Amino acid sequence: MDEKTRLLEEITKRAAAVAESIRNCNDPDFLVKAAKLVRKQIPYRYRRYAAAWFLITECTRPSSAKKTENKPAKKPVRVTDGFVNLFVNAGKRNKVNAAELSRHFGKILDIPLTKIATVKIFPAYSFIEIETDEADRAVKEVSGTSLNGKKITVSYSIKK
């Protein structure tokens, strides 16, 4: 395979990754500001070429530069002693808030809200800290239930 064909395949992969990142953006306000900046700085007829240029420069950088750049610092997931952090596939976009999620877990599991430590809601997903002895039950019993019309899935959160 020649160099240009390999580069075009890499650009295709990166373009798909960029599109997916845009769909799952955690900070849409920042994305809008960046888009306005591009609109202001790059004339309309050159924006396609600018996007292609950004992809080409990203794909042709040395691999060592790619690994060190944009790598967020790993932060330990703080979990209260005696509690387990669970991942829930519903968030702000599903009109879920912390109180509602806590009540849903409490109602399904028939537990007091004191067995839930913290709830963190993000645009597409949430994390809930629940007592260790209730975690297995929560994963089994709350998964598959409906919250605000969305079938939710609950699993143990994984450190990244």
Same domain, 64 and 88: no
pLDDT for 6 beyond 80: yes
Q: What CATH code is carried by the domain that includes residue 135?
A: 3.30.70.330
First to last CA, the chain: 34
Buried (b) or exposed (e) across 89-114, using 16+ Cβ within 10 A? ebbeebebeeeebbebbbebbebeee
In the structure, what pLDDT confidence band is assigned to residue 73 with cuts at 50, 70 and 90?
very low
pLDDT at 83 over 50: yes
Give residue 145's pLDDT: 93
Q: How confident is the model at residue 75 (pLDDT cuts 50, 70, 90)?
A: very low
- Examine the fold and report which residue of 68, 92, 125 is the final residue of a domain before the chain moves on: 68
Whose CA is closest to 94, among 140, 48, 149? 149
Tell which of 68, 92, 108 closes a domain: 68
Return the HEC string of 30-68.
HHHHHHHHHHHHCCHHHHHHHHHHHHHHHHHCCHHHHHH
Does 56 reside within a domain?
A: yes
Dihedral (Cα; 84, 90, 91, 96), 10-degree rounding = -100
Q: Which domain holds residue 150?
A: 83-156
Point out the domain boundary residue: 39, 68, 97: 68
User: Which amino acid is present at 100?
Assistant: E
Q: Are residues 87 and 64 in the same domain?
A: no
Mean per-residue pLDDT for 100-116? 90
pLDDT at res. 70: 54
Give the count of domains, the chain: 2
- What is the Cα–Cα distance from 135 to 58, expressed in whole angstroms? 42
Segment 98-122 mean pLDDT:
90
76 lies in some domain: no
Asked whether residue 118 is assigned to any structural domain, the reply reads: yes
